[in-house]
Amino acid sequence: MKMPIFGIYAFLAAIVFNLKFFQGDLWNRLSNVNFFLLSCVVAGIFWGYAAWIARQYYKMRSEYGERLHLSYFGYAVTPVLLFHMGAVWCLASVTSDTVGIMKDYMTDYFPTLLFLVVGYATLLLFRPEYALGSSLLKIGNTDERVLEAPVPVNLDAHIDLYSLFSYLLVSGGMGPKFSGTAIRFFDIVFIESYSKEQYVILSDGERMFGGDIFDQLKQRGLDPWMLKISKNYYINTMLIFYPIKPRSRKLKLQPEVYENMLTKVSQDKIDKLREIGPGMKNTIVEDFLANKNRMVHKGWDDFIPLR
């Protein structure tokens, strides 16, 4: 959802939420300057709540795919309600009738708040495009830059691994992007390798013949980014969701990559691809992270020939 449209929705929700706070007929309340200012503040608060819920949605979606657990509502909704009511309690505690104010708030406002919060969390299960975070990105098979986000002129030579993906996504956008028959390295999620041939699986789920992909990556110094996680599969560690749990047997992809791949690949297939296969060391992740400070992202936007 686009930011301006979401802002309008948030403001309308704030108006409905605040109508009981002011006395008089509907027009007098809507034309009250204080009512307008309060609605702007509440809209900003709702915006923050929506961002939190969307973040939890993407986080759990990247792990469970479409089989989101009931714990999604616990992680997404419960903190919002606790924070909101805690803030109201703090404000009410400076008055002489704290308990009375809280009772009135629970009766007049809490049901509306509960409806809005649970309703938005539920909406994302059926219409994920309404997630606030998705408005920052242009996801799909286009060559467009990221929208509504500042594009840095130059990237630092060294960026912390945990925040690297965000920097690169903002700088280059979601692909896949081609130059002739060459594919941008940032768009290669997996390499499927056999004794005589290799394939690449791209950020939109497309599977293509990889040619001498490993030689091409080694020439550019990009081969350390491809971590072997099973007998036949390597994963691009630029696209992993960090932090990683110690001894984890299933790596998470960045939510934006996961969502993009779902356009052509089933979530069951993606989940199998990101599993660390039998026979691989239990410390495979720890061994990679031990060298994270030596990793250089230069070449992340190089176009790799597939021949």
Per-residue pLDDT of the chain (307 residues; tens, 9 = 90+): 445 666 777 777 777 776 665 455 656 666 677 767 877 888 888 888 888 888 787 666 655 544 556 778 888 899 999 998 998 899 888 888 888 888 888 888 888 888 888 888 888 777 766 776 543 333 333 333 333 333 344 556 667 788 889 888 888 888 899 988 899 999 999 999 998 889 999 999 999 999 899 999 999 999 999 999 999 999 999 999 988 877 788 899 999 999 999 988 888 899 999 999 998 988 888 888 888 878 888 899 999 998 7
What are the contacts of 63-72 at 24+ separation with CB within 8 A? 63/252, 65/258, 65/262, 65/267, 65/268, 65/270, 65/271, 66/267, 67/267, 68/125, 72/121
pLDDT score of 162? 80
Q: What pLDDT sits at residue 184? A: 95
Is the pTM of the predicted complex or chain greater than 0.85? no
| Phi-psi map region of 213: left, alpha, beta (phi>0 left; psi -120 to 50 alpha) | alpha
Neighbouring C-alpha atoms within 13 Å toward the C-beta of 264:
14
The whole-number pLDDT of residue 152 equals 42
Closest CA to 222 of 208, 204, 241, 236: 236
Contact 51, 132 (CB under 8 A): yes
Query: Which three-class secondary structure state does DSSP give residue 37?
Result: helix
Q: What is the pLDDT of residue 25?
A: 61
Sign of dihedral through CA atoms 29, 120, 162, 147?
negative
Q: What pLDDT is recorded for position 142?
A: 33
Question: Which residue in 87, 83, 84, 60 sits closest to 71, CA to CA?
Answer: 60
> Alpha-carbon distance 297 to 300, whole Å?
6
Task: Give me the numbers of helices (H) and strands (E) for the chain, helices first please.
Answer: 12, 8
What pLDDT, on a 0 to 100 scale, did the predictor assign at position 96? 86
Positions of E strands within 151-289: 178-179, 182-184, 188-193, 198-202, 207-209, 226-228, 233-236
Question: Which amino acid belongs to residue 201?
Answer: I
The whole-number pLDDT of residue 157 equals 62
**Residue 238 backbone zone (phi > 0: left; psi -120 to 50: alpha; other: beta):** alpha
What local confidence, expressed as pLDDT, does residue 267 receive? 87
- Side by side, the strands of the sheet bearing 182-184 are 178-179, 182-184, 303-305
Amino acid identity, residue 166?
A: S
